[in-house]
Structures are given as structure tokens and as C-alpha cells.
Structure 1
Amino acid sequence: MKIEPTYTSVGSLFEYRPMFFIPKYQRAYAWNSESVEDFIKDLKNCFNKRKSNSPVNHFFGGVLCVRYPVGGTVNQHEYEIIDGQQRIATFTILVSCLIKIYEELKEQAEKSSSFDNKTILESRIKLISERFIEFSQEVQRKINSVEVLRLSIVDHPFYKELIRGRNPSVSRDSHSNIFSAYTALSKAVKDIIASSTLEGKMDNVEIIQNIIDIDFTILYMVTDSKEDAFRLFQVINDRGTNLTVGDLLKAKTLEIVEGFNQYQDNVEVLWNNILADAPSDTEKYLNWIYESYQGNRARQDSLFDLFLDKFFPQHKNHKTENFKENEVIQVHTKLNNIYEDIKSCRLLVEGQWLYEVKQPIMSWDRTRLNLLLKELDHELSVPLFLAASKLDHKRFAEIVQILEKVFFRYKIICNQHVTPLKTIYYQELLAIRQNPDSYNASSLKQKLRKLINDKAPERVFKANLETLEYRDSGGSNKPLKYFLMTVEYYYQWYKNGAIGNPECVDKSRVYDFAGTSIEHIYPQNIEKSFLDLNLEPLKNTLGNLTILDPAQNTYGGNDTFIEKRPLYQASSMLLNRDIAVQTNWTQQEINNHKNLLVDVALKIFYP
């Protein structure tokens, strides 16, 4: 393996019109605000040292490239960046900030008729633009405009517009990173060059140029071998030390389909779409997908290897033989399926329904998924839902409602450990994957009933429900609101005799979770003249609570029960209309209301 390492300045790297580009297998721009802030601190330190006539070098690590000759030119090359993209891109973003400031100073010089300074600024802009942004190149007697750096296919259009002073639209996480870096560097440079005079600002920007040209240093390594590049890439980024799991999987699958150009282009597009989220989100989604097919969670720091073996076993053949077209097709098909699962993950984390809207599933049924995943925060169920998405929408909705009731009882109220729940989910998702056409939820119900009977029996559930209270501070009231809303939905079924499986009799009533408010029947902040010392200790307890329609939640407030009775009588909620039947609201009514809510819950929250 032939490598030409050189310790050099960043300025020297950009001295002779280089042409850098990012290969298909590299990740998008990923520097976060912390990395950029560290970069700015280094810049400020070097600036202060130069101002005090004691310049220092700052080493930014290695940049590794593969060199390719440019056809039709003499001794000109393109350089494929294997490692160091983030630094190279940030250097060019910094220079684009200097160009923007030079443009502003040029306008200032023109307005003040400082024509010598204007000429100097124009010269500087031209010089650094050609070195770091874009230059003209003769190829076979034709002059072409050449970009110094081309980022990945998903980032480059945004990056190209931004560094030229335009205002491109952010459409993915890496764009946000680029824009944040540009914004932070622009502000930092303006702070650094602050001066009362035009000449002072010009001198300070020139100091920053000198820092880039002389003080910022790197170890520059070049190889001419594509094969060496892949090996070096794996060594430098062993086990994802610097790259994410998604980045490494992208690199490996692109390596598998190398030589099959059409499939490689499609694989690249798929990975660009898969990696559009924040890296932490992508890794979470890939973990969920692995769990959904494998039936267990990947060991810590092993997701790359395990995911690769599970979904792309073809990679094991690369040491002894070239990949065949049927293997490449298998990789492409599998990646298509993974992308569909990624899109499902994105919907599920937002609590969104995975199917088109059609009967008999109504809006009420769809909101149960949102409540479970968003309001009750049961992301543990996502791998099961990914598998269940292969079922029809009716069976999917049935699973949602089973899990919703069990999770509320088992975990939120009885606070049992989730491991047994997760074990059941894994068993069921494997059964679904094995034969989705014949799957029904009876086995899921049976297993969850046994778990409930063992770990969250009626006496424990009842006792814990009775202690449920409204929290003024120090915790969320979402579980309480969910409970009261769910009881209301099933209350008509309960009043009809609670026969058969629990059901919402009127699914046309769908209350907005955020807009629905928890109501204190005996007011939370009653006027002193109506204060009841017997009820004050009970005002936040379950028996004194109900919910109000979104349209009513600004009324009533701290009125007495007698004053609020007409509000309850006019409510669309059956529970409230039954409360309004009472002539007074005393300790006895509070106790009766609590017992009613608990009795309804015992009949609802069971699989």
C-alpha cells in the first residue's frame, strides 16, 4: 500500500487549484455546534497569537485522499476525500465567510470613495475565491468552471448555494449542520475582526487568511489505489469510531455493489434518504429495525456487525470472490425494504398511522397509536409495530389497543419492569414475520393476560389507581389525562352493562389530547369564603377530577360546584353529565366518583 504523507499547512493544500470530492460511501456533513465551537476557539487563539507577534501552529489531524488524473489536462488531479471531509468543508465555509465580509468591506470602501482599498479588496476576493471556492480550468482547449470542493450528492446543492451568498432551503439534518456552521463562523469572524476603521478590519481579515495559509496544519495522505482506499477507510474508521453505524453500513453496501453502476447509484440514493435524519435518530431506527426482524436487541457497540450479518450476509463473500449480480440485486431489494421501515419509524415516533384512511378504522382508532407512542411514550413497542405493519389495518389497530391498555396498567400504574413485556413483544413480532397472513392477536392477549395476572393483578392495579393524583409541579399529568379520557370513551359501554370486550360506543367523539383539560370539580383555588377544610386535602385526588371539552376549558375555573353544574350538564362527556346529577359535592361524592372511575378501569384495562 503506497501512501504519500505530508505535514503541510491548509493554505498549501489549496495552493494549486485542487479538486476535492466526497465519495458515495462517505457520510454527509456532520459537525455539530460543539465541533464548530472548538474550531472557532482554535481560530481565535491563533488570531490572538498573531496579533501579539507570536504565531502558533494548530494541527487539525489527517486528511486522506485518493488521487485521479483529470483527462485532457497536464498534471492536474481530482482528490477523493476518504477521511477529513468535515475539516476540509469547514475550511471552505470559513473562507466563504471571509469573502462575504470582503464584499461588505468593498461596498463600504466604494461608498467612502476609498478606491485603493476597493481595488485591494477585489483582488483578495478573486484570489481566495479561486483557491477555495471555484476556478477556471482548460480541458481540451475549452475553459470550464471547476468547484474546489464537491460535497455528497445530498449536501452539495445546498452547500454550493450557501457559500455563494444565496439562501438555500434546509431540507435535512446535514443541511442544518452546514447552515449552523456557516452562521456561527460568520458571527465569530465579525467578532474577531471588529475595528473602528475600514483598514483595521481589512488587516484583521488578512490575519485570518494568514492563519489558514500558515498556522492551520494537517497531515495530508494520498494514495492512487481505489482498493487501498477502501481498506484505509475501514482501518481509519474501525467499528464506527468516527463514523456512525449508518455511514459504515452505507460504505459496506456500496462496496458490495461496486462495478454495478445502476444498482450502486440506486443504493446511494436509498442511503441518502435513510441518513436524512439526525445520526442519533438514524441509529435508533436501525436498532428498532434489527430488533423487529431478529427478536432481540443488538449488543452495545455491535449494531454494525450484527445488522450487516442479518440483512447483508453477502458481505462475507468479498474476500474470496467477486460479487455476482444476483447478490447485488438481493442487497438492493433488502435496502429498499429497510428504507420502507425507516419511513415507518419516522411516522411511528410522531404517533402517525401507517395505513391509508379507510373503514372500518376510524379517526378514534388511529388516535390510540398517537396516545400510546407520544403521550404515554411507549417507544419500546415500535419494533413490534414495524412487524405488525405487514398485517392488515384492522389487525394492526387491534394490537395497538391491546398494547395501549396493558402498558398503562402494567408499567404506568403498577410500575413493573419492562423486560417481560419486551420478551412477549419479541415473541410476537417473530410470529408475525414468520407468517403474517395467518397471524392473529389471540396469542398476544393470552401472554399479556398471564403477565397482568402475575405482575399487575387487580388488587395492585386498584390500589395504585386510587393514589393517582393531579400534580401541581414535579411531574407529568399526561397519564392522568389519558386515564380520564379513556374512561370517558368506554363509559357508555360500561353503563350498558360492560358486556363482552370493551368498546367505544361512539367513535365520532375524538377529543384533542392537548386541548382537553383536567378539571377540579371542587376548585383547585377556591375563594376563601367558599373554602371547605374537609375537601381541601382531597382536591387533587382522583375522585375530585374529570375532564372538560376543549370548547369548555376556559370556563368554570374556580367557581363552586353549584355554579359549575350547568357547565357539566351541557358537556358532551357522559361522565360530566352524571356528575351534574349530584346536588352537592362532598367527601362522599368524591369517594363515590373515585370508586366509579376505578371500577370502570378494572373492566377496561385488561387485554
Structure 2
Amino acid sequence: ESHVTTNWHKGKLDLLIRKLKHTHAMPVLLAASFTHEKEFQNLVNETCKFFIRYKAISALHASIFSSLYPALAQEIHQLKDRFTIKLVYPKFNEILCSKDPDNNYFITGIRNLRYQRKGDNKLLKCLLVTIEENWQWLNSGSTSCESRLKLEDKTRVFDFNNTTLEHLYPYSVGENEREENVEKIKNTIGNIVILDMTRNTKNDDKSFSQKKDNFINTGIGIHQYILEKTEWNEQDINELTER
């Protein structure tokens, strides 16, 4: 094992194969194992994003993997040390542009995500962690894949077991504080952020104004956006969903 391989990189491989169970990608990963280590890591990372975007969130048909991956694996194996991630970007983008040209499936998938009290909320966590890791790029105005890879934050490893989901408008609200319009959308992505377990426990079911201090100095980009708010209502939830 190389010193170049960090826990962050190991986490992406674990996410792709064990948590997302995207074993269709195994031929590509096997072929990439004969390339430079950095390019193998990049491939794992970008395949994670592609699968989350294409299948996990957008629910597009998995049959595309049967034609995509074997051909890509063969091409990577032939290139070996000459392979770079730049080969993969246009192939992934071509599929996304073909199957979801207006991002309608993706947008609908995001809007339909719901927090489940007794579920593992894997997709919500995956999406929110991916957004956080790419927060700098998302706010940079750049749209290139190369720029995204450079700006991606690889310094923090989000442990799925210890990374919790926090409701900004509380999950459980007293009868006098209930906002019926917000109750209908409180489990959507616009009302939920990632937070470490310790801070989440402190928040319990406090109101937004009471829990705001626990978003200070977390190092999480979306928390800076939240701290600018004085309250958290239906409009704020909808704005964050669309953002």
C-alpha cells in the first residue's frame, strides 16, 4: 500500500463497492489497477460521482453499464500507464447528456429524496457528503471536471457511521411552534445538513435559533451559508433545495 493512498481514497472505494454495491464497475477498476495509482484513485472517485448522479439519484436504467464498462476496461488496459482520467470524462458526460439532457431526472430525484427516521438514509448522506467535498468548486463558477477534481476537498474523511443528518427546522416540534407548510417538507434535502454525532446530540430538537451555535467552526461549507440566516422557514428550505 502506497503512502499516496489515504483514508479518503479508501473510503471512496468502500463507498462504491460496499455501500453503493456498484459491482458493475469491477472490470474497470481491475483494468485501472495496472495504471498509475493516482489515476486509479481518480477513476474510483469519478465513478462514484457518476453512479450517484446517474443511478442512485436519477434512477436511470442500469443496462448502460453492461456496454460502458467492458469497453472502457479494455481501453484502459491497453493504455496502462498512459491512461488518465481525462479519457473517462467525455464518456460519462456523453451518457448523462444523452439520458438526461435537461437534468430533469436528476432534479426530480433530488427533490424526491426524503429523510427516513428508521432508515439508513444512505443516498441523502452520499449526496450531502459529495456536495460538501465539492463545495469550493460548486461556488467557484467553474463547470469543468478537471477544475472540480483540483478543488475537491480530500482533507476530511466523513465516516458514514458517525456522520449524522441534522434537521434545521426540527424533526419534532411542539404544538405551539409547528408550521404546517414546513412540516410537509421538513424531511427534504433543503432542510437537512450533515453534522458530526456530538454536535447533533447537543441540538436534539431545539429551534433553529437555539441550535445555530453548533454550526460555528465546523469546517463544513454549507454551515457558513446557514449561519447567515436569522431564521429557517419554508422559503429557506426551498431556496437551499434549488441551490
TM-score norm. by structure 1 comes to: 0.38
C-alpha distance in structure 2 between counterparts of 1:394 and 1:453, whole Å: 27
8 A contact 1:390–1:436 mirrored in 2:
yes
Report the equivalent of 2:100.
456
> CA–CA distance in 2 between the matches of 1:423 and 1:447?
12
Residues 176-197 of structure 1: CA deviation (Å, up to 9, x unaligned): xxxxxxxxxxxxxxxxxxxxxx
Indicate how the Cα distance of structure 1 residues 437 and 574 shifts in structure 2: closer, same or farther if over 3 A, else same: closer
Runs of 4+ with deviation above 4 angstroms:
none
Deviations 1:404-459 (A, max 9, x none): 11111111112122221231110011123334133333333222211111113323
What whole-Å deviation, never above 9, does each CA across 1:338-397 have from its counterpart, x for those lacking one?
Answer: xxxxxxxxxxxxxxxxxx2323x5432332112211222212112221221111111101
**Counterpart check, 1:519 vs 2:163:** no
Instruction: Return the alpha-carbon distance in structure 2 between the equivalents of residues 516 and 483 of structure 1.
Output: 13
Q: Please name the residue that 1:595 is paired with.
A: 242
Letter in 2 for 1:469: R
Question: Can you list the C-alpha shifts for 1:162-188, whole angstroms capped at 9, x where unaligned?
Answer: xxxxxxxxxxxxxxxxxxxxxxxxxxx
Is contact 1:516–1:553 with CA below 8 Å preserved after alignment? no
What corresponds to 1:152 in structure 2?
none
Equivalent residue runs for 1:69-148 within 5 Å: none
Instruction: Give how far 1:509 is off.
Output: 1.7
The DSSP-based 3-state class of the residue aligned with 1:523 is: coil
8 Å CA contact 2:27–2:73 kept in 1: the answer is yes
The aligned counterpart of 2:54 is 410
1:502 aligned residue (142, 148, 161): 148
In the alignment, is the contact (CA less than 8 A) between 2:34 and 2:80 conserved in 1?
yes
CA distance in 2, matches of 1:586, 1:396: 44
The aligned counterpart of 1:424 is: 68
In structure 1, C-alpha distance between the alignment counterparts of 2:68 and 2:126, rounded to whole Å: 24
Find out whether 1:567 has 2:214 as its counterpart.
Answer: yes
Cα distance change of structure 1 residues 364 and 498 upon mapping to structure 2, 3 Å threshold: farther
Q: Given the alignment of the two structures, is residue 438 of structure 1 paired with residue 85 of structure 2, yes or no?
A: no
- Cα deviation, residue 476, structure 1: 4.3
1:45-84 paired onto structure 2 within 5 Å = none
Deviates more, 1:389-398 or 1:372-381: 372-381
Would you say 1:490 and 2:134 are equivalent positions?
Answer: yes
SS in 1 for 2:165: strand
After superposition, residues 530-541 of structure 1 pair within 5 angstroms as 530-541=177-188
Contact 2:16 2:48 in 1 (8 A): yes
Aligned counterparts of 1:550 and 1:483: Cα–Cα separation in 2: 18
Shift of 1:497: 3.2
Please report the RMSD computed on the Cα atoms of aligned residues, expressed in angstroms.
1.9
For the 8 Å contact 2:59–2:105, the answer to whether it is kept is no
Relative distance call for 1:412 and 1:523 in structure 2 (3 A) is: same
The residue type equivalent to 1:484 in the other structure is: L
Query: What amino acid maps onto 1:502 in structure 2?
Result: R
Q: Which shows bigger deviation, 436-445 or 371-380? A: 436-445
Structure with the bigger percentage of strand = 1
Map of 2:229 onto structure 1? 582
Alpha carbons 1:424, 1:444 under 8 Å: kept: no
Structure 1 residue runs of 5 or longer lacking an equivalent are: 1-355, 597-607
Q: Match for 2:154: what amino acid?
A: K
What amino acid does structure 1 have at the position aligned with 2:115? Y
1:357 aligns with 2:2: yes
Contact 2:58 2:108 survives alignment (8 Å): no
Identify which of structures 1 and 2 has the higher relative contact order when contacts are C-alpha pairs closer than 8 Å and 6+ apart. Answer: 2
Whichever residue aligns with residue 70 of structure 2, its letter is: Y
Does the Cα contact within 8 Å between 1:387 and 1:433 map onto a contact in 2?
A: yes
Q: Percent same amino acid at aligned positions?
A: 31
Are 2:205 and 1:558 aligned?
Answer: yes
- Mean Cα displacement is larger for which, 578-587 or 411-420? 411-420
Distance 1:506 1:403, change over 3 A: closer
* Structure 1 segment 178-577 matched on structure 2, within 5 A: 356-359=1-4, 361-457=5-101, 458-473=103-118, 476-498=120-142, 500=144, 501-503=147-149, 504-577=151-224
In structure 2, give the amino acid aligned to 1:392. Answer: H
State how far apart, in whole Å, the 1-side matches of 2:94 and 2:219 are.
37
Instruction: After TM superposition, give the deviation of residue 498 of structure 1 in Å.
Output: 3.3
User: With structure 2 as the length reference, what TM-score do the two structures score?
Assistant: 0.90
CA distance in 2, matches of 1:566, 1:487: 22
Mapped partners of 1:402, 1:593: distance in 2: 25
Give the drift of 1:494: 2.3
Give the whole-Å Cα distance in 1 for the aligned partners of 2:183 and 2:72.
Answer: 48
CA shift in 2, pair 1:558/1:387, >3 Å = same
- Which has the larger Rg? 1
Alignment size in residue pairs: 239
CA contact (8 A) 2:115 2:188 kept: yes
3-state secondary structure, aligned to 1:548: strand
Where 2:148 maps in the other structure, the secondary structure is: coil
